[in-house]
């Protein structure tokens, strides 16, 4: 889903939900977590750095990365 949303325009609601910062307060000691932060952490686990939005622009490369992340999490 993140790849599809990354290829959408910035004005689309789903894009704003994915990269937006959550409003409101979290419990003490717990930082705000965004979907985008989780994507970055997953990419770092498999050794893919850089801007995930740029990586998602290439469908074939993005698909290979997603499969790698899914296989990494299963093991």
70 is written with which tokens? 């899914």
**pTM for the full predicted model:** 0.67
pLDDT of 34 reads: 77
Q: 46 exposed, middle or buried (CB, 10 Å; 0-12, 13-18, 19+)?
A: middle
Higher-pLDDT residue of 74, 51: 51
pLDDT band at 7 (very low <50, low <70, confident <90, very high): confident
* Section 46-69 average pLDDT: 88
- Is the model's pLDDT at 33 over the cut of 70? yes
Task: State the DSSP string of 10-58.
Answer: TTSHHHHHHHSPPPS---TT-----HHHHHHHHHHHTT--S-HHHHHHS
User: Token pair 């937006």 is at which residue?
Assistant: 20
């Amino acid at each position: 889903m993140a790849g599809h949303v990354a290829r959408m325009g910035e004005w689309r609601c789903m894009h704003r939900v994915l990269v937006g910062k959550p409003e409101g307060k979290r419990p003490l000691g717990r930082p705000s977590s965004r979907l985008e932060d989780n994507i970055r952490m997953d990419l770092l686990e498999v050794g893919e750095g850089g801007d995930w939005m740029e990586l998602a622009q290439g469908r074939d490369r993005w698909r290979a990365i997603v499969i790698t992340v899914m296989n990494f999490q299963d093991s």
